[in-house]
């Protein structure tokens, strides 16, 4: 499932429950994963921590918006 880009060039796809793949201009750059119990964590392609939010995946995805 593809989601509307939050910013030009950024695309979020959800291959399964609790995982979103982030692409920038068609190139995969990271992930957002989690759920409403443990929270949501944004990580780059090398799995380094970028951001976290307890409220929603959309908030964690904001870490990707330049």
DSSP 2-58: EE--SSTTEEEEEEETTEEEEEETTEEEEEEEEETTTEEEEEETT--EEEEESS-HH
Is residue 3 very low, low, confident or very high in pLDDT (cuts 50, 70, 90)? low
The domain tally of the chain equals 1
Residue 30 has what pLDDT? Answer: 87
**Banded model confidence at residue 1, pLDDT cuts 50, 70, 90:** very low
When the pLDDT of each residue in the chain is averaged and rounded to a whole number, the result is 79
pLDDT computed for residue 5 by the predictor: 47
Mean pLDDT on 34-46: 85
Confidence (pLDDT) at 7: 60
pTM (global) more than 0.75: no
């Amino acid at each position: 499932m593809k989601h509307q880009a939050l910013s030009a060039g950024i695309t979020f796809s959800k291959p399964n429950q609790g995982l979103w793949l982030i692409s920038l201009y068609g190139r995969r750059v990271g992930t957002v994963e989690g759920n409403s119990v443990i929270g949501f964590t944004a990580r780059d392609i090398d799995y380094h921590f970028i951001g976290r939010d307890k409220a929603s995946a959309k908030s964690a995805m904001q870490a990707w918006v330049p």
